[in-house]
Amino acid sequence: MRRISKRQSLNFVRWFNLGMLSLSLVPVTSMRWRGDYRKGGGPKTKCMTITQQLQDIAGTRCLEDEPMSKHTNFRIGGPVKWFVEVRSVDELQKILIIAHENGLATFVFGGGSNLLASDQGFEGIVIKIAMRTYDIQRTRVRADAGVLSSALARATSNAGLKGLTWAISLPGTVGGGVRGNAGCFGGEMKDRLVHVEVLRCAPQIFKGASAPFQIIELTKADLNFGYRESDIKHSDDIILSATFELEEGDAHELKSELDDTLMKRKMTQPLDAGSAGCLFKNYEILSDEELQRLEEKIDLPSEMKSARRASAGWLIDKLGLKGTQIGGAKVSDVHGNFVLNTGSATASDVVQLIALIKSRARNEFGIQLMEEVQYVGF
């Protein structure tokens, strides 16, 4: 195992501090409200007022100074000023209004499977979507954004519907999966999607409108899906639900597919440590010239040439970075695209390791790896 000290890694951190790390800093927010919750009265009084307002809505599901490490698969993250779990659209709207009225930043998320939260935490309101009902009508399935993708895959397979068995291996929620067009083992969220319902804030909210929110239905075409991309990923809309069109199948055969997919996952991915899953997007080869240039530097497997997409895990393996460790963050020995929390990792450790990987890929292969992970509080 290659271990790199924090002192040795400082050269890579400088890129982060200079804004050259190309971090994906687009939060799943309904609004990017910024402000100081301490304005208007003493800090303690103001905080107590906001806390009471939030608890009036969510009760014990509102927590103060809650560590994000408890809510991310990475098991990393500092304290959130207010952490609220919402179980209805009404609760969500009321909390967003409180945030707006107090000039607070908001961050909305689902399962926490693809997040790296800052060690410094988040000075605002973090909202966890916990609407988790689904409905199956013949071959059409509607699922709330907070439903686990794996749970939906199992439920639809048990109902004899095929089209989502691959999602049994996804750790996140339906909302987050649709937003980032999550995929694995040959499937993507867009494949069977019909439409989504989103919560959109009307501009009139700033004028005290009585109905500041709109619930809008967006079709698959409206979302303009790409590889791990959708237009909604770069908007302030919040996904409330998603509807899929599946096909009739045999429940027994579908159960076997679920089992096979889970077995493949166990054989190829490290599942015994905290991580955000695949950290980087696979590298897309966009032209013949790019393919030729890359082949001059590395012998690409035929399947990657045909797909015009180089596996990030394979590239990291070729860089000899498996097992590389900074602090408590380590590149998996099993899968090069997994960075693991060995038990004591900080967000800073992970950021430094990301910087190292991206630097080596740039210098040796001439490519820019892009993160799949979403940053919170940076």
CATH of residue 288: 3.90.78.10
pLDDT tens-digit map of 339-376: 999 999 999 999 999 999 999 999 999 999 999 999 99
Is the domain of 255 the same as that of 296? no
- Give the per-residue pLDDT at 271: 86
Residue 2 lies in a domain: no
Q: CA 328 to CA 319: how far, in whole Å?
A: 21
Residue 23 lies in a domain: no
Is the domain of 163 the same as that of 210? yes
Q: CA 124 to CA 129: how far, in whole Å?
A: 16
Final residue in a domain of this structure, among 95, 129, 163: 129
Instruction: Give the residue among 128, 4, 145, 3 at the shortest CA–CA distance from 62.
Output: 128
Going by C-beta distance under 8 Å and a sequence separation of 6 or more, which residues neighbour residue 203? none
Q: Which domain holds residue 367?
A: 272-376
**Confidence band (pLDDT; 50, 70, 90) for 26?**
very low
Q: CA 294 to CA 356: how far, in whole Å?
A: 20
pTM of the model: 0.85
Is the domain of 163 the same as that of 54? no
- Give the per-residue pLDDT at 193: 98
Is the domain of 254 the same as that of 140? yes
The Cα angle at residue 322 between residues 116 and 293, in degrees rounded to 5: 95
Q: Tokens 């800093």 belong to which residue? A: 25
Instruction: Give the residue among 1, 71, 74 at the shortest CA–CA distance from 277.
Output: 74
Q: CA 7 to CA 1: how far, in whole Å?
A: 18
Position with higher pLDDT, 148 vs 29: 148
Is the domain of 125 the same as that of 175? no
Angle between helix 251-268 and helix 149-158 axes, rounded to 10 deg: 150
Is the domain of 138 the same as that of 214? yes
Is the domain of 185 the same as that of 298? no
Q: CA 107 to CA 27: how far, in whole Å?
A: 6
Is the domain of 195 the same as that of 108? no
Is the domain of 253 the same as that of 326? no
Is the domain of 217 the same as that of 286? no
Residue 357 lies in a domain: yes
Residue 24 lies in a domain: no
Residue 200 belongs to domain with CATH number: 3.30.465.10
- Give the per-residue pLDDT at 67: 98
User: What does the mean pLDDT of the chain come to?
Assistant: 88
Residue 6 lies in a domain: no
Residue 192 lies in a domain: yes
Phi, psi of 307 (to 5 degrees): -80, -10
Residue 18 lies in a domain: no
What total number of domains does the chain contain?
3
Residue 254 lies in a domain: yes
Is the domain of 191 the same as that of 102? no
248 exposure class (CB count in 10 Å sphere: 0-12, 13-18, 19+): exposed
Query: What's the start-to-end Cα distance of the chain, in Å?
Result: 29
Is the domain of 259 the same as that of 138? yes
Final residue in a domain of this structure, among 129, 147, 181: 129
pLDDT tens-digit map of 288-330: 999 999 999 999 999 999 999 999 999 999 999 999 999 999 9
